Amino acid sequence: MNTHPTLYENLGTGSILESSSNANPEYPLYLVISTDEYGVISAVVANLPGAGGCGDTEDEAIEGAKESALDLIEEHQNSNEAIGWIDVANLKIGNDERLKVVVATHA
């Protein structure tokens, strides 16, 4: 298992990124990318439980994960619930997994 603490120092748990305007908030997503034995690629959002995506390509999986995360964030906001961000500073990933940090933007 690999631990990547330096990737998390600036973005924290995934809360909204600071910007001059919150008209289109941006959220950092820490994706654990893997491929199953059938070639299906999955992207699990490690810092937001319940969000993820899959597809035939990594791009499809990432886009699905972003959409899933944004839908989940919107559900929490509409319910006036706190978004369930978790700290991934000590995340361990398997040798057959990769970590990728992306930003999802609410339009």
Q: How far apart are CA 106 and CA 96, in angstroms?
A: 31
Q: What is the pLDDT of residues 22-31, one digit of tens each?
A: 678 899 999 9
CA distances (Å), 83 to each of 25, 27, 36, 49, in order? 14, 11, 29, 10
Q: What is the pLDDT of residues 24-70, one digit of tens each?
A: 889 999 999 999 999 999 999 999 999 999 999 999 999 999 999 99
Amino acid at the residue 57: T
Domains in the chain, ordered, with CATH? 2-105 (3.30.160.250)
Which pTM does this prediction carry? 0.80
